[in-house]
Amino acid sequence: MKFNQPRERSCGIALKKCKNCGRNKGHINKYGLHLCRQCFRDMALGLGFKKFN
C-alpha cells in the first residue's frame, strides 16, 4: 500500500492520456484520436491525414 496514494480523478488533464505513449500534455482529442501531438505527427500519414505545403 502506498503512503500517499494518488487520488482517483473524475475530470481534468490527468484523465486524458495518449493511447500510444501515455503522455498527458499536448493531447489531441478531436475525431476520437486520443493521441499526443508528438505521436500524432509520427502516425498522421498512416491514419490518412495529408500534409499540404
Return the HEC string of the chain.
CCCCCCCCCCCCHHHCCCCCCCCCCCEECHHHCCEEHHHHHHHHHHHCCCCCC
Quote the pLDDT of residue 5: 85
Quote the pLDDT of residue 50: 92
For the whole model, what pTM was predicted?
0.74
Q: What is the dihedral of CA 43, 33, 50, 40, to 10 degrees?
A: -40
Q: Is the pLDDT of residue 1 over 70?
A: no
For residues 34 and 6, give the distance between their C-alpha atoms in angstroms, rounded to a whole number.
Answer: 23
Mean model confidence pLDDT for the chain:
91
Quote the pLDDT of residue 51: 86
Q: Where do the domains of the chain lie?
A: 18-47
pLDDT tens string 23-41? 999 999 999 999 999 999 9
Quote the pLDDT of residue 45: 94
